[in-house]
Amino acid sequence: MIESRYQPSEVEPRIYVAWEDAGAFRAERPERAKAEPYCIVIPPPNVTGSLHMGHALNNTLQDILCRFERMRGRDVLWQPGMDHAGIATQAVVERQLMERQQPSSREMGREAFIKRVWEWKAESGGTIISQLKRLGASCDWSRERFTMDEGLSRAVLKVFVALYREGLIYKDKRLVNWDPKLKTAISDLEVQQVESKGQLWHIKYPIEGSGEFIVVATTRPETMLGDVAVAVHPENERLKHLIGKNAILPLVGRRIPIIADDYADPEKGSGAVKITPAHDFNDFEVGRRHGLPLVNIFDAAAHLTLKNNDAFLKDAHPEANLLESLDGKSREAARKWIVEQLQSQGLIEKTEPTTHVVPHGDRSGAVLEPYLTDQWYVDAKTLAQPAMTAVREGKTVFVPPQWEATFFNWMENIQPWCISRQIWWGHQIPAWYGFTRVGTTTLTTSDDELIVAETENEAVDLAEAYYKTPVVVLKSSSDVIPWIEKFQSGKPLDVHPIIRDPDVLDTWFSSALGPFSTLGWPDQTPELKRFYPTSTLVTGFDIIFFWVARMMMMGLHFMKEVPFHDVYIHALVRDERGQKMSKSKGNVIDPLAVIDEYGADALRFTLAAMAAQGRDIKLSSQRVEGYRNFATKLWNAARFTEINGCARDSAFDPRKVQETLNRWIAHETASTADQVTTAIRAYKFNDAAGAIYRFVWNVYCDWYLELIKPVLTGPDGAAKSETRAAAVWALDQILKLLHPFMPFVTEELWRVTGAGRETLLALSDWPSLEGLGDAQAEAEIGWVIDLITSIRSVRAEINVNVALPLAMIKVGDHVWGRAQRWSEFIKRMAKISSVNRIPIPKPGTLQLIVRGEIVGLELAGLVDLAAERARLTKELAKCDADIARVDAKLGNPNFVARAPEEVVEEEKEKREEALTRKAKIAEALQRLEGAE
Which residues within the stretch 880-899 sit at the binding site for RNA (CB under 7 A)? 882, 885, 889, 892, 894-895, 898-899
Rank residues 141 and 263 by Cβ distance to RNA and give the closer one.
263
Dihedral angle, C-alpha 830, 832, 837, 838, nearest 10 ° = -110
Rank residues 46 and 270 by Cβ distance to RNA and give the closer one.
270
Rank residues 157 and 600 by Cβ distance to RNA and give the closer one.
600
Question: How far, in Å, CA of 215 to CA of 922, rounded?
Answer: 90
Binders in 637-666 for RNA, by CB under 7 A: 637, 639-640, 643
Element (H, E) at 931: helix 901-931
Q: Contact region for RNA (CB under 7 A) — 489-497, 559-567, 620-628, 737-745?
A: 620-628
Is the bond preceding 522 in cis, omega lying within 30 degrees of 0? yes
Q: Which of 341, 420, 613, 733 binds RNA (CB under 7 A)?
A: 613
Work out whether 632 is an interface residue with RNA (CB under 7 A): yes
Q: Minimal distance in Å, beta carbon 884 to RNA?
A: 10
Rank residues 280 and 503 by Cβ distance to RNA and give the closer one.
280
Q: Contact region for RNA (CB under 7 A) — 61-69, 72-80, 134-142, 270-278?
A: 270-278
Work out whether 356 is an interface residue with RNA (CB under 7 A): yes
Q: Contact region for RNA (CB under 7 A) — 33-41, 290-298, 626-634, 733-741?
A: 626-634
Element (H, E) at 217: strand 213-218
Work out whether 402 is an interface residue with RNA (CB under 7 A): yes
Q: Which of 282, 382, 525, 671 binds RNA (CB under 7 A)?
A: 282
Q: Minimal distance in Å, beta carbon 895 to RNA?
A: 4
Concatenated DSSP letters for 510-574? Answer: HHTTHHHHTTTTTS--HHHHHHPSEEEEEEEGGGIIIIIHHHHHHHHHHHSS-SEEEEEEEPPEE
Question: How far, in Å, CA of 800 to CA of 440, rounded?
Answer: 101
Question: How far, in Å, CA of 507 to CA of 426, rounded?
Answer: 7
Q: Contact region for RNA (CB under 7 A) — 214-222, 488-496, 506-514, 519-527?
A: 214-222
Q: Minimal distance in Å, beta carbon 367 to RNA?
A: 5
Element (H, E) at 156: helix 150-165
Burial bucket for residue 86 (CB in 10 Å: 0-12, 13-18, 19+): buried
Q: Say how many C-beta atoms besides its own lie within 10 A of residue 346's C-beta.
A: 8
Q: Which of 15, 182, 264, 928 binds RNA (CB under 7 A)?
A: 264
Binders in 515-554 for RNA, by CB under 7 A: 542, 545
Rank residues 15 and 519 by Cβ distance to RNA and give the closer one.
15
Q: Minimal distance in Å, beta carbon 237 to RNA?
A: 15
Q: Contact region for RNA (CB under 7 A) — 260-268, 287-295, 309-317, 337-345?
A: 260-268
Binders in 853-882 for RNA, by CB under 7 A: 882
Q: Check if the beta carbon of residue 510 is closer than 8 Å to that of residue 428.
A: no
Q: What is the 3-state secondary structure (H, E, C) of 723-776?
A: HHHHHHHHHHHHHHHHCCCCHHHHHHHHHHCCCCCCCCHHHCCCCCCCCCCCHH
**Interface characters, 160-199, with RNA (x: CB under 7 A):** ----------------------------xx-x-x-x--x-
Binders in 439-468 for RNA, by CB under 7 A: none
Q: Which of 253, 22, 9 is nearest to 751 (CA)?
A: 22
Q: Minimal distance in Å, beta carbon 215 to RNA?
A: 10
Q: Which of 75, 179, 280, 853 binds RNA (CB under 7 A)?
A: 280
**Residue 699 per-residue DSSP state:** I
Q: Minimal distance in Å, beta carbon 152 to RNA?
A: 26
Between the two ends of the chain, the Cα-to-Cα distance in Å is 58
Q: Which of 897, 23, 45 is nearest to 540 (CA)?
A: 45
Rank residues 78 and 545 by Cβ distance to RNA and give the closer one.
545
Q: Contact region for RNA (CB under 7 A) — 149-157, 271-279, 509-517, 868-876?
A: 271-279
Instruction: Please work out the total of residues on this chain that contact RNA, with binding judged by CB under 7 A.
Output: 95
Q: Which of 117, 217, 390, 551 binds RNA (CB under 7 A)?
A: 217
User: What ranges make up the beta strands (E) of 127-212?
Assistant: 145-146, 169-179, 184-186, 191-206
Q: Minimal distance in Å, beta carbon 349 to RNA?
A: 12
Work out whether 227 is an interface residue with RNA (CB under 7 A): no
Work out whether 32 is an interface residue with RNA (CB under 7 A): no
Is the bond preceding 400 in cis, omega lying within 30 degrees of 0? yes
CB neighbour list of residue 11: distance below 8 Å, 6 or more residues apart: 744, 745, 748
Question: How far, in Å, CA of 172 to CA of 175, rounded?
Answer: 9
Q: Which of 760, 759, 737, 686 is nearest to 60 (CA)?
A: 686
Question: How far, in Å, CA of 712 to CA of 648, rounded?
Answer: 15
Question: How far, in Å, CA of 210 to CA of 231, rounded?
Answer: 19
Q: Minimal distance in Å, beta carbon 638 to RNA?
A: 8
Q: Which of 280, 305, 304 is nearest to 294 (CA)?
A: 280
Q: Which of 612, 647, 890, 915 binds RNA (CB under 7 A)?
A: 612
Q: Contact region for RNA (CB under 7 A) — 276-284, 447-455, 496-504, 508-516?
A: 276-284
Q: Which of 789, 823, 836, 916 binds RNA (CB under 7 A)?
A: 789
Q: Minimal distance in Å, beta carbon 192 to RNA?
A: 7
Question: How far, in Å, CA of 256 to CA of 317, rounded?
Answer: 13
Q: Check if the beta carbon of residue 850 is closer than 8 Å to that of residue 787.
A: yes
Binders in 566-595 for RNA, by CB under 7 A: 578-580
Q: What type of residue sits at position 746?
A: T
Q: Which of 109, 257, 502, 626 binds RNA (CB under 7 A)?
A: 626
Q: Minimal distance in Å, beta carbon 625 to RNA?
A: 7
Q: Which of 85, 120, 115, 114 is nearest to 100 (CA)?
A: 120
Strands 564-570 and 534-540: parallel
Question: How far, in Å, CA of 241 to CA of 239, rounded?
Answer: 5
Q: Which of 14, 115, 268, 529 binds RNA (CB under 7 A)?
A: 268
Binders in 796-835 for RNA, by CB under 7 A: 796-797, 799, 801
Work out whether 240 is an interface residue with RNA (CB under 7 A): no
Q: Which of 103, 253, 470, 614 binds RNA (CB under 7 A)?
A: 614
Q: Minimal distance in Å, beta carbon 197 to RNA?
A: 11
Work out whether 388 is an interface residue with RNA (CB under 7 A): no
Q: Minimal distance in Å, beta carbon 867 to RNA?
A: 15
Q: Which of 4, 101, 489, 524 binds RNA (CB under 7 A)?
A: 4
**Interface characters, 684-723, with RNA (x: CB under 7 A):** --xx--x------x---xx--xx--x--------------
Strands 420-421 and 504-505: antiparallel
Q: Minimal distance in Å, beta carbon 528 to RNA?
A: 32
Work out whether 636 is an interface residue with RNA (CB under 7 A): yes
Rank residues 612 and 876 by Cβ distance to RNA and give the closer one.
612
Work out whether 358 is an interface residue with RNA (CB under 7 A): yes
Q: Minimal distance in Å, beta carbon 467 to RNA?
A: 42
Question: How far, in Å, CA of 164 to CA of 578, rounded?
Answer: 43
Q: Which of 124, 330, 354, 525 binds RNA (CB under 7 A)?
A: 354
Is 55 strand, coil or helix? helix
